[in-house]
Structure 1
Amino acid sequence: MTVLKIVITGATGGIGSAMALAFAQAGHRLVLVGRNSDELAVLRNRLAQPERHQIMLANLNSAAAITSLATELADIGGVDVLINNAGVAGFALLPEVQDDDLAQMLGLNLLAPMRLCRGLLPLLSASANACIINVGSSFGSIGYAGFSTYCASKFGLRGFTEALQRELADQEIAVHYLAPRAVRTKMNSAAVVAMNAELGNREDEPAVVALAAMRLLTERHSCNRYLGWPEKFFVRLNGLFPCLVAKALKKQLPIIKRYAKQQGDAPLR
């Protein structure tokens, strides 16, 4: 097995930590990126052979911090895989979204992956096993009431990934878009969890996403992966017949609005 040096942003989150545990168990060397040094240290100590893995602190909403991160990675010998996993979710009707929340959402979910890909391309180009995995969402293909700003950020990430796949088609860098459905993590507020339960929306464990990411590490051709049924079906249906999906989702609107009111001023997660 080829041992890869893998950068994971948002490493201490539910999906990030599940990926870290799976990749370390498989023998890869990790660079765990986040903002909380204590949480990163706790995660590293949970990994197989913790001394093999490194911690890097970065506020990914800062362009300067991303530039510094790229320099640090160059100093330690480069990188084979970049996993853009860091992100926030926000459940609110549009009139309730504050400017600061909007800036944070777009900054972390969209601008940060774009800047990281740009900054690390020289390092990835030097690897024989280069791979980028941008963690999106089924909401990057289906606009969903109550998540308008989140959808915008993930639609943007999907479009960026598609364009980058085509831009790098003549290079040995695989660029993947990984789109989970709802995942059981702390990112979901109590209102979102209750709403999903009432609507019958299924949630996956973070390990499901980690396993899908593990499989993408061996894919040498750029691809998109959508997780969960019937969500992956609705992604395709929405692309072909959006009016049909809109009609179905309209029936959920009273429930969505009720839970959005209960959400109140809960912060982004």
Structure 2
Amino acid sequence: MNPAHARVLLTGATGGIGQASARALLRAGAAVLLSGRSHERLDALSRRLVTEGFDATRIRWTAADLGHAQDTRALASEATRLCCNVVIHNAGLPAFGRLEQLSDDTLEAVLQTNLLAPMRLTRALLPHLQQLTDAQLIFVGSALGAIGLPGFSVYSAGKFGLRGFAQALRRELQDSTVQVQYLGPRSTDTGFNDPQVQAYNRATGTAQDPPTAVADALLALIRHPVGERFLGFPEKFAARLNGLAPEWLDGSFRRHRESLPPSPSAPTAPPPLLR
């Protein structure tokens, strides 16, 4: 699709990747419906984009908490009213640390935002999208949706699920006018990564891309609707190898294990024997 013909619903619009993507889309001629949870941040972003010279008539925003069914229906209704033909599922929550350190609330929030919310929004939008002559669903996942790393068990669970959902839906809709795509960025230099993750990345030699690299990849997917794309090396190669023979990589992550925050339940040395 020519981006100038795209009317894009972009979730997670106020985050680092979201803001870079909004600018790239507008620069390419697309109209964009920005979505996120905060009215204030969406309004500020919209105003900032206009002051940067982007056409105000191609910028709309609507706040929605996709954990709530009513907000999901309202966002789908607004995207339908504006005849959006591209949906970029970009909203997400991080989760880093040993599994025993993560609370039930964290598990539920991450899986709700990273997996269930895009599934539900997609289901709500499908009747509209299938009536269009050309439509695209793009799921912004992660390289960790194809490579399970120590410290990212819950985050990977959501992204593996999102990738599986996109893959199955792509095959389900193969005879329709709706293209389904998955983008797997590697670590990205945004506020999404807290200081613990930044330290982990430094200790493990994990490279980070600027958010503009992800935005450029999203534009490329709109122009050339391949089903799946990963970013970065060696992440791209590791994703393919892990899909073929995951156990081959099991011994490759010692440094990652050793770079995790210490476990509060880690065994300590036994007390000396009394004599």
What TM-score do the two structures reach when normalised by structure 2?
0.90
Helix, strand or coil: the match of 1:256?
A: coil
**Gapped regions of structure 2 (runs ≥ 5):** 265-275
Shift of 1:248: 0.7
CA distance in structure 2 between the partners assigned to 1:113 and 1:216 by the alignment: 18
The equivalent of 2:107 in structure 1 is 102
Query: Does the 8 A contact of 1:79 with 1:127 survive in 2?
Result: no
Query: Does the 8 A contact of 2:17 with 2:212 survive in 1?
Result: yes
Helix, strand or coil: the match of 1:217?
A: helix
Query: Does the 8 A contact of 1:21 with 1:46 survive in 2?
Result: no
The one-letter code sitting in structure 2 at the alignment partner of 1:92 is G
The one-letter code sitting in structure 2 at the alignment partner of 1:64 is Q
Q: Does 1:145 align with 2:147?
A: no
Following TM superposition, the consecutive aligned residue runs of length 4 or more in structure 1 with deviations greater than 3 angstroms are: none
The equivalent of 1:236 in structure 2 is 240
| Matches for 1:14-25 after TM superposition, within 5 Å | 14-25=16-27
Identity across the alignment (%): 41
CA distance in structure 2 between the partners assigned to 1:94 and 1:37 by the alignment: 33
CA distance in structure 1 between the partners assigned to 2:82 and 2:44 by the alignment: 24
The one-letter code sitting in structure 1 at the alignment partner of 2:64 is A
The one-letter code sitting in structure 1 at the alignment partner of 2:256 is Q
Aligned length: 258
Shift of 1:241: 2.3
The equivalent of 2:267 in structure 1 is none
The equivalent of 2:198 in structure 1 is 193
CA distance in structure 2 between the partners assigned to 1:117 and 1:183 by the alignment: 25
Equivalent position to 1:40, from 42, 49, 68: 42
Equivalent position to 1:124, from 125, 129, 132: 129
The one-letter code sitting in structure 1 at the alignment partner of 2:30 is H
Query: Does the 8 A contact of 1:5 with 1:81 survive in 2?
Result: yes
Q: RMSD across aligned C-alpha pairs, in angstroms?
A: 1.4
The equivalent of 1:267 in structure 2 is none
The one-letter code sitting in structure 1 at the alignment partner of 2:163 is R
Shift of 1:17: 0.6
Equivalent position to 2:73, from 67, 87, 104: 67
Equivalent position to 1:167, from 172, 175, 196: 172
Shift of 1:136: 0.5
Q: Does 1:91 align with 2:96?
A: yes
Greater Cα offset, 35-44 or 249-258:
249-258
What TM-score do the two structures reach when normalised by structure 1?
0.92
Shift of 1:195: 1.4
CA distance in structure 2 between the partners assigned to 1:183 and 1:189 by the alignment: 12
